[in-house]
Structure 1
């Protein structure tokens, strides 16, 4: 696959084949992802790649806490509730997904099941937990660098036939993840990425999220040629 095919073809995958992913393939993906740029080549990231029983324990404890109403406790700061155009885009993708899945607005049972899928990391065979060094927590650059790494990770995975979804629900209770993944205290848990071979029969996996046009995103200054 060339670069354009990867970027334009990649989708967020929310259901996976229950097929193990060879460690060698994941290592190939990570080797590509860690070529991501970082501030002054500091490379502040760490990747904790989970599968099997440790991942199942995280799923179980994460889901149990959610069902019991335990308030979220993430290492990373949240944005709170999105407002305005950001909220509009959040609702737009939810509508696309629910329409694909046939989930009605008033179907509380199916909506609850959808939420629980997120807390189970969409039952993916692999979860990659992204952390960074706690010594860098007071700034914003390390988090930016981790974002660059995650972009590289999901694109590299797609180039190897793997699907991913970036998933904050999977780390909603960071202490659970830290315990079962053996993550040291000197690392901040930033995000996790569910990974595996896509289930092509799952309707939501065909959903392509909409993007703003270039002229809405980019402000060109100092260019002599006018947009055609």
Structure 2
């Protein structure tokens, strides 16, 4: 695929075929992703690629704990809830997804089921857990670098026919993830990426989130008119 086709065509995939992803293909995608820039070449990232029984145990552990009212146990900083225009954008894409799935505003059960899909990594056949070295916890560059490699990961996957969605719900119960993905204590769990073959019949997969224009997002200083 051409670079522009990957960037403009990629979308977040929340419904997957029941079809395994070859390990060799995932390794190919990771090799591309790891060409992402990092601060002074620190390369702080680690990838824990989980499938099969361990992933099923993470899914069940996540959903059981959240349904039991266990508090959020994310390890990476969460920050304050979105407000203002950022909250508006969050609500906007949620409306797009609910409309595509036919989930009405008053459908509490349907909305709850949608939320739980996130804790199940959207039932994808593969989950990639991104972690970083704990000794770098105080570095803002580390979070930036892990974001860069994750962005390149989902784009590289798309270029190979795989779909992904970057997912925070999948690591909110970090003790469950750490146990079943066998993540060492000297690493901080940052993010999850669900990965697999897109189900083209899953309505939410057709949703393309809205983006601001360059004119809205960018200022050009020192250029001639």
Scaled to the shorter chain, the TM-score interval is: over 0.9
1:86 matched to 2:86? The reply is yes
Please give the TM-score of this superposition, normalised by the length of structure 2: 0.99
| Counterpart position of 1:103 | 103
Distance between the aligned counterparts of 2:57 and 2:147, measured in 1?
26
Distance between the aligned counterparts of 1:16 and 1:116, measured in 2?
16
| Counterpart position of 1:11 | 11
Structure 1 runs not aligned, ≥5 long: none
User: Within 5 A, what are the aligned runs for 1:67-78?
Assistant: 67-78=67-78
| Counterpart position of 2:38 | 38
Distance between the aligned counterparts of 2:149 and 2:95, measured in 1?
29
1:194 matched to 2:194? The reply is yes
How far apart are residue 219 of structure 1 and its match?
Answer: 1.1
| Counterpart position of 2:55 | 55
SS where residue 50 of structure 1 aligns? strand
Superposed CA deviations along residues 97-131 of structure 1, whole A, max 9, x for unmatched, are 00001100010010010001000000000000000
Distance between the aligned counterparts of 1:45 and 1:60, measured in 2?
26
1:130 matched to 2:130? The reply is yes
| Counterpart position of 2:2 | 2
How far apart are residue 138 of structure 1 and its match?
Answer: 1.0
| Counterpart position of 2:159 | 159
Deviation beyond 2 Å, 4+ runs, structure 1: none
SS where residue 78 of structure 1 aligns? coil
How far apart are residue 180 of structure 1 and its match?
Answer: 0.5
| Counterpart position of 1:20 | 20
How far apart are residue 216 of structure 1 and its match?
Answer: 1.2
How far apart are residue 80 of structure 1 and its match?
Answer: 2.6
Number of matched pairs: 225
How far apart are residue 68 of structure 1 and its match?
Answer: 0.5
Distance between the aligned counterparts of 1:164 and 1:125, measured in 2?
11
Distance between the aligned counterparts of 2:211 and 2:205, measured in 1?
17
SS where residue 49 of structure 1 aligns? strand
Superposed CA deviations along residues 73-93 of structure 1, whole A, max 9, x for unmatched, are 111111231000000000000
